[in-house]
Every structure is written in structure tokens, then in C-alpha cells.
């Protein structure tokens, strides 16, 4: 059965917006969370035009109390069928005086933000024996790349957390999927200065994710050649893998 009540974080731009539009349809209730209230309302208007019922909340995913209140309120208003912990930020600069602060911000948004989204809903879904949770990781979470240390670390942590959560919650009727996209054309990738093989349009990525969630796939990793490449790099001896990465990324 298709989900009728869906909560998406990071819905005010990029893949979050594309997912909101992909799910928008008559009879669907969307709860969209994001930091930018104006952009969030613009997305809400676009999805309302597609027939969905919309609720929005301007909240920062790093704010644990605010997230707990927003997610709990959404679930109390009507049980959520699907929660997509999508909010995230990109690698940013690996150097400079503010590099450490950027790294901590990446970890706060990409990892703490997922925990702050999942924690308020996982036991509620488990108590009623139904629901689906999707965690946004990345193919970068399979292997560290230069200039992307905090980002790759955050996505690796989300992937491993999702794997554990899937095993814990499945016997209680809750499905968990980890999403690992490759390069997707969004504001996050605009202006990137590193190779982005098989760059996908955001609408295509959202369609792949939706199909994977409909089939309750435990891991939704795409495109498959990039997925295979990252898994191979992770499996190779470190000296070989490091040498290949240095050659490709010219570092």
C-alpha cells in the first residue's frame, strides 16, 4: 500500500523538494520540514497544486527539542506511514581557518539531524507495528575521499546506523531503508570542483528512491556503476585504493 502520510526533512530544496513533488497526489498528506520558511512555503504551494494536503514547519534538524516536538505533533495529528530523514549539507571547504567549524556543522546536520528525526518516531511506529523510515546516506559513505572527510564520515555513520536500526525494527513491523545516491544535480553539487561521474537529474533520483521505498529495499544505492566502484575501492587494500583516488582526483 502506498504511504498516505509522509514526513520529509530538508524539503525546502534539492532532493527533499523533488521527493515532495514525487509523492504529491490527491489523498496524500505531506509534512515538510526545512529551515527556510519562505522556500518551504513555495514548495508547499507547488505540491498543493498536485493535489496533496500540506503541513509545514520551519525547524533546524540540529535542534533536538524542536525536532522532537515537530515530528511528534505530526504523528499525533495522524499516524505517519513514511518518514524520510533527508536533510543534509555538502562537503564544503576542506581547508581554511573555518574548516573545523564547517566539519562540525556537517556532522551536526547530516548525523545529528538524522537521529533527531528518527528518535521521536521509531518507537511510536514500533508500538503500532507499522511504518517505514528512510535515512539519507550517500555512496560517499562507503569510502573516504580527500576534501570530503566530515561529509563521508557523516554518511558512513548514517548508513551503519540505518543497518542496525533495520534489524532492530523489522521484527516490530517497521521497515527501514538506507538511501545512498551518487552525484545528483542540486544546489549542493553546484560549483563542485571534483569529478562527478554519472551526475543525475534530481527528479530522476527522486523516482529511483520512491521505487526503492515502495519495494522496501534495505539499501537503495545508485547509479549501480558508481555504487560498484565505491564498493570496490572500499574492498581493495588501502595502498591501492589511496593511489587510485589520488590519480582520479589529482591530489
Contacts of residue 42, Cβ cutoff 8 Å, sequence gap at least 6:
none
| C-alpha to C-alpha distance for 13 and 184, rounded to whole angstroms | 13
SS3 readout for 68-81: HHHHHHHHHHCCCC
Residues classed as catalytic: 151
Q: How many CB atoms lie within 10 A of CB 118?
A: 24
Length, in residues, of the chain: 251
Q: Which one, of 240, 241, 201, lies nearest residue 223 by Cα?
A: 201
Amino acid at each position: 500500500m502506498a504511504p498516505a502520510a509522509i514526513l520529509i526533512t530538508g524539503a525546502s530544496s534539492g532532493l527533499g523538494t523533488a521527493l515532495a513533488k514525487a509523492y504529491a497526489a490527491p489523498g496524500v498528506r505531506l509534512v515538510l520540514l526545512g529551515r527556510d520558511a519562505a522556500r518551504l512555503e513555495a514548495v508547499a504551494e507547488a505540491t498543493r497544486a498536485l493535489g496533496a494536503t500540506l503541513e509545514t514547519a520551519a525547524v533546524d534538524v540540529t535542534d533536538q527539542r524542536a525536532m522532537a516536538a515537530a515530528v511528534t505533533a505530526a504523528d499525533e495529528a495522524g499516524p505517519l506511514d513514511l518518514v524520510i530523514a533527508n536533510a543534509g549539507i555538502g562537503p564544503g571547504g576542506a581547508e581554511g581557518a573555518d574548516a573545523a567549524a564547517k566539519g562540525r556543522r556537517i556532522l551536526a546536520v547530516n548525523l545529528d539531524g538524522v537521529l533527531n528525526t528518527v528518535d521521536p518516531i521509531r518507537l511510536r511506529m514500533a508500538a503500532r507495528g507499522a511504518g517505514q523510515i528512510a535515512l539519507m546516506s550517500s555512496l560517499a559513505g562507503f569510502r573516504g575521499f580527500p576534501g570530503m572527510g566530515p561529509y563521508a564520515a557523516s554518511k558512513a555513520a548514517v548508513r551503519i546506523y540505518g543497518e542496525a536500526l533495520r534489524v532492530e525494527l523489522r521484527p516490530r513491523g517497521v521497515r527501514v531503508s538506507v538511501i545512498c545516491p551518487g552525484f545528483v544535480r542540486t544546489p549542493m553539487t553546484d560549483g563542485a570542483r571534483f569529478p562527478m561521474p554519472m551526475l543525475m537529474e534530481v527528479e530522476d533520483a527522486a523516482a529511483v528512491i520512491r521505487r526503492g521505498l515502495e519495494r522496501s529495499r534495505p539499501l537503495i544505492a545508485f547509479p549501480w556503476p558508481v555504487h560498484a566502484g565505491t564498493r570496490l575501492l572500499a574492498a581493495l587494500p588501502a595502498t591501492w585504493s589511496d593511489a587510485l583516488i589520488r590519480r582520479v582526483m589529482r591530489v
